[in-house]
Amino acid sequence: MEIIRTALDGVLILEPRVFRDDRGYFFESFSKREFDRKVAPVLGHGINFVQDNESRSSYGVMRGLHFQRPPFAQSKLVRCVEGKVLDVAVDIRKGSLTYGRHVAVELSGENHLQLFIPRGFAHGFAVLSETALFQYKCDDFYAPDYEGGISICDETLGIDWKIPSDKAIFSGKDTLHKCLGDFDSPFSVDMDFYPEVGHHMINDR
């Protein structure tokens, strides 16, 4: 597994090693041993995933930009099993030098890339293929009373979702989120986002 850093601290692209032959392919989509050995030292702390989720969506569906408020904030490790999505993480940590900036990565059943989104970031995706099967791991359980979001249509974020406006499909709930300029984030850059996990030295091997 190769770890690719992005322009946002802690947001990582994970590229698995894929074994291919005339029968098809094989790869490890997740190994806690490999994650702890390669990803945790980059983050400076461990991650304990406790819930797996899956969604199927049709072309033009846009989900996000979601997060859970403390004390139930979530990290996510996401991938697209079938089809293709544009996956986006937005920094919503007040005081961060990259506050409001985003990373956008195409995840597909062909490239097998995964995106790790830490706590303190909003997450969303848009379906670019006819359908998409999307899976993600979370390090805290779903807590509906602590759901939050910012508008996926906020033009000030500068995200090119690659979906024509007349083809975009949203849930009613997602249309109610505020734009970043009107949003009071529950996160700040000086928070301890992972008080429950062991911390690693950055240079661990």
β-pairing verdict for 93-94 and 187-188: parallel
Is residue 177 part of the annotated active site? The answer reads no
> What is the helix (H) or strand (E) element at residue 180, kind and residue range?
none
Could you say which of 66, 102, 112, 123 is catalytic?
Answer: 66
Strand segments (E) across the chain: 2-5, 12-15, 19-21, 24-26, 51-58, 62-68, 76-82, 84-91, 93-94, 102-108, 114-117, 121-127, 131-138, 147-149, 187-188
Task: Give just the sign of the alpha carbon dihedral 116, 189, 9, 159.
Answer: positive
Which residue shows structure tokens 């009373």?
A: 145
CB-CB contact of 148 with 90 (8 Å): no
Is residue 136 part of the annotated active site? The answer reads yes
Could you say which of 45, 136, 177, 194 is catalytic?
Answer: 136
Contacts of 33 (CB under 8 A, 6+ apart): none
For residues 87 and 105, what is the distance between their CA atoms, to the nearest angstrom? Answer: 5
User: Annotated catalytic sites, by residue?
Assistant: 66, 136
